[in-house]
């Protein structure tokens, strides 16, 4: 079918924008690269400084405290299996990448969610942006990230942040909006300011929902580790990607199993932290 309308040069517009950003904000991108590399390398160095058996015990005790004995036993066995298979160091690199992405998602996402929950105009603007961030294929984020931050761990972190941040923002908005109206009216009747109402009432009551958003951000960041390895990010994703390119089914299964173990441990720990906060809020 003949198209009577000329094609919109969206690709050309995007290329021009990326080139303009690269030329005019190159120093800023270099600074971000240096900071993120230092953070990831610092986390990896800190994790590697702790003996593996001590790391296992600490994470097992944390799982026991926030969850139950069964989860603690799974954590201990899962971490021992990762160490036994020889993926301990890649696991630490993956953990550092995910934690960096999640910390940035929290530092940016929670304030944006709070702002959007208080201002309807902001919420109307941010909602389609979040839809775009969640529906755009993750591979697309890597293309400009390579131009801005070169090959390595940094474009992987940036792409993970873009992909993982929306749940934190959305559930922060939802948690604050779900605070019962009668509680809000009571605080206003006592003369609370907007800041006091937010800090002392809305955020504490919304914290379980916010934690659920953080939990989802962790899972999405973990799902990005294999994609991030395509641009040079280290960790378990690199082992999976290498196994795929070399058709090493067994190696790929081992590295994938290590990712599954870490995902389950982090998921259950953060889930139970949110449940504990919810129970304390009810009590």
Give pTM, 2 decimals: 0.85
Q: Average pLDDT in the 108-120 region?
A: 90
Question: Is residue 239 within 8 Å of residue 90, measured between CB atoms?
Answer: yes
pLDDT in tens, 130-155: 888 888 887 777 777 787 888 888 88
pLDDT tens per residue across span 252-276: 899 899 999 998 898 888 888 766 5
**192 has pLDDT over 60:** yes
pLDDT recorded at residue 280: 56
Q: What pLDDT does 7 receive? A: 76
Q: Which pLDDT does position 170 carry in this prediction?
A: 92
Has domain 10-282 been given CATH number 1.10.3720.10? yes
pLDDT exceeds cutoff 80 at 101: yes
Given a cut of 50, is residue 173 above it in pLDDT? yes
* pLDDT > 80? residue 72: yes
pLDDT at 53 over 80: yes
pLDDT at 283: 46
Average pLDDT, the chain: 85
> Which of 125 and 139 is assigned the larger pLDDT?
125
Tell me, what's the pLDDT at 187? 80
Domain ranges across the chain:
10-282
- Give the per-residue pLDDT at 73: 93
CA distance to 9, 120, 221, 232, 246, per residue, from 156 (Å)? 28, 33, 10, 8, 22
pLDDT at 190: 75
The reported pLDDT for the residue numbered 4 is: 66
The pLDDT of 75-99, averaged and rounded, is 92
DSSP notation for 121-182: HHHHHHHHHHHHHHHS-HHHHHHHHHHHH-SSHHHHHHHHHHHHHHHHHHHHHHHHHTS-HH
What is the structure's pLDDT at 59?
92
Does the pLDDT value for residue 77 go beyond 90?
yes
- Compute the distance between CA of residue 186 and CA of residue 215 in angstroms, rounded to an integer: 31
pLDDT value of residue 282? 46
What pLDDT shows up at residue 278? 53
Cβ proximity of 102 and 218 under 8 Å = yes
What pLDDT shows up at residue 277? Answer: 56
pLDDT classification of 111: cutoffs 50, 70, 90: very high
Q: Minimal CA–CA distance to 231: which of 148, 143, 136?
A: 143
């Amino acid at each position: 079918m003949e198209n009577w309308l000329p094609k919109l040069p969206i690709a050309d517009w995007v290329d021009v924008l990326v080139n303009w950003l690269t030329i005019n904000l190159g120093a800023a991108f270099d600074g971000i690269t240096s900071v993120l590399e230092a953070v990831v390398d610092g986390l990896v160095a800190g994790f590697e400084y702790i003996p593996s058996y001590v790391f296992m015990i600490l994470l097992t005790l944390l799982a026991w405290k926030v969850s139950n004995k069964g989860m603690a036993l799974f954590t201990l066995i899962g971490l021992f299996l990762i160490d036994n298979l020889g993926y301990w160091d890649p696991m630490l690199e993956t953990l550092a990448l995910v934690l960096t992405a999640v910390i940035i998602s929290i530092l940016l996402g929670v304030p944006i969610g709070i702002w959007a929950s208080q201002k309807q105009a902001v919420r109307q603007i941010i909602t389609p942006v979040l839809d775009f961030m969640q529906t755009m294929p993750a591979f697309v984020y890597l293309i400009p990230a390579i131009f801005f931050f070169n090959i390595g761990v940094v474009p992987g972190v940036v792409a993970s942040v873009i992909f993982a941040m929306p749940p934190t923002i959305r559930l922060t908005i939802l948690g604050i909006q779900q605070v019962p109206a009668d509680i809000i009216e009571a605080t206003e009747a006592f003369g609370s300011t907007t800041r006091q109402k937010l800090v002392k009432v809305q955020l504490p009551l919304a914290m379980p929902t916010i934690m659920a958003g953080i939990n989802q951000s962790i899972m999405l960041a973990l799902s990005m580790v294999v994609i991030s390895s395509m641009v040079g990010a280290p960790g378990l994703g690199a082992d999976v990607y290498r196994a795929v390119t070399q058709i090493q089914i067994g190696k790929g299964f081992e590295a994938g199993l290590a990712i599954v173990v870490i995902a389950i441990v982090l998921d259950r720990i953060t889930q139970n932290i949110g449940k504990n906060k919810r129970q304390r809020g009810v009590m």
